[in-house]
Structure 1
Amino acid sequence: MDYAVPAPVLPTLTVAGRGERFPVNRVFCVGRNYAAHAREMGKDPDREAPFFFMKPANAVVDAARPASVPYPPKTANYHHEIELVVAIGQGGRDIAVADALKHVYGYAVGLDMTRRDLQLEARDKGRPWEFGKSFALSAPIGVLHRAQDVGHPSAASIALMVNGQPRQSSDIDKLIWSVSECIAYLSVYEALEPGDLIMTGTPEGVNAVVRGDVMQGAIAGLGEIQVSVSA
């Protein structure tokens, strides 16, 4: 097929122990899905309906090996958010909570990098978060572990260090909305497709990083990622 302009490169992720790679379709992100993080962002952590925002596919950085992301323009408050990432292997609409995990291909450790100053400015003005959240190279993601190999983790420590110093530490069992519930709720509004990713939210402790900082994140059973901030 001939294209009028060069076709975009398809982002892919490394799959643990496999030769094939996981193609990334869309990236859905759950907002404020840990109560303690909701409080640190000045919001009531009551279990209201989940809400989602999106990142472009070119936000994804394969961080199976130590990776780097550039410090983005137009911000002076660039934040880390460590998250459990869910990869969808089987699409569907109106998925029942009881059936949701059947649609999961695997899990990974990820970072939702955020231009916090732009996000909060947009939030306070009632505007979309795109400039704060949805930009290129803002979602480094580690090795993807197949559910058939590791199961479906419901309790596991999740932590992030910056330059060897602890920043975030919690457990995925503190998710306000579980993986199953997030999948089911999202599928009512948008048919999920193979290759979709769901970033499930971050615990408390988010903070700024600067050029030269090295972030090391981990979720028990899913390995680690190391991401540095370049100029």
Structure 2
Amino acid sequence: MTSSEFVCRTVLVTGGNRGIGFAIAAEFVALGHRVAVTARSGAGPVGSLTVRADVTDPLSIDAAFTEVEAAIGPVEILVANAGITKDTLLLRMSDDDFTSVIDTNLSGAFRVVKRASKGMLKARYGRIVLVSSVVGLLGSAGQINYSASKSGLIGLARSVTRELGARGITANVIAPGFVETDMTAELPEAQQAAYKKSIPAGRFASSEEVAKVVAWLAGDDAGYISGAVIPVDGGLGMGH
């Protein structure tokens, strides 16, 4: 197959109702794929199917997949993007602050990958993209829970690659740095300037730039890439 031959796939993006997840879903819609998003509230972009799901609840995930499969077909491309933060310093971090972030960001990814892999194994085709973060590689003060959860996605993807790689299934990780979102827009200008000073590119990424990398990794041109960590961080995490 050449890169000019488009194949329409069924795509599921978790947490696709806002931010990076919304942009990823919109990119797949623009490319002509059948796209569904999971969300606890809100909706995905126009042209996508929104299903309610909580990634901490296996029954909720199974119901969401069943709904997607009935409406647009078995999931061929999974983007595990759903995540939360509960930032605070180590000595102030409660057990719940830690475990709830791990349960959503890491265990949640495990649950959706496990459910999606059933159909992928049957089809002998699948693309799994896990949305990590530069802090999963660099660490971040006040984000021990978040950094640990995002670092764990790398081990998950690489182990999935070793288990399922011979079945036409790839599993990769993207590690975005600072991205232009509502959250970064609310930062004081001086703080934004300080962050940008630490980024060789001198700016934040757009959500669309992250989305295009995900779409490429999920495409046939990247079929021989698996277990990789692709930084989308303007050079911030070089060497990690």
Bigger relative contact order (CA 8 A; separation at least 6):
1
What TM-score, normalized to structure 2? 0.29
What TM-score, normalized to structure 1? 0.30
Which structure is higher in strand share? 1
